Amino acid sequence: MPAEIDHTDRKILEILQEEGRISNAALARRIGLTAAPTLERVRRLERERVITGYAARIDGDSVGMGLTVFASVSLEAHELRAVEDFRAAVTALPGILECHHLTGEADFLLKVRAADMGSYEAFLREHLLGLPGVQRIRSSVVLSTLKEGGAIQIEEAVT
């Protein structure tokens, strides 16, 4: 069930998605409240898991991880145990940025960052192909990224 979010909460979420390091005092000024109620609202949104964390966005090229690959994974079997084994193995692999369980042709979509094509090939051979229950992996290499890490648009509640 979605959390109850009013106009002020929505404004807080919009600001934090763009400026995660904003101070509570600056956030309070921007939404028109004092610091104490602003902090309580943020803490409530965290408790209710509307806000699930804060992170820095890193430029992959700047840290030598310039290749982005989306790997579509199809499993041999679609039994609960096979899916659970695959999910556990993927969760334990540090090279995977995102993993999405899908409907459609592939069962999972992985987002992987690597230094270059040789590094991805080694990751594919040494890790991905050995994951439990994997039947097929289709890799799509990103040529350029137009948009990444966008904010979730939070609609006004209809009353």
CATH label of the domain that carries residue 116 = 3.30.70.920
- At residue 3, the pLDDT reads 82
CATH of the domain at 40: 1.10.10.10
Question: Is residue 114 domain-resident?
Answer: yes
Longest alpha-carbon distance in the chain: 56
Q: Are 31 and 8 in contact (CB under 8 A)?
A: yes
Whether residue 159 has pLDDT greater than 60: no
Segment 41-63, tens digit of pLDDT:
999 999 999 999 999 889 999 99
Question: Is residue 149 domain-resident?
Answer: no
Task: Return the minimum-mean-pLDDT range out of 33-37, 57-61, 96-100, 132-136.
Answer: 57-61
Residue 40's CB: how many other CB atoms inside 10 A?
Answer: 11
Boundaries of domain holding 36: 7-47
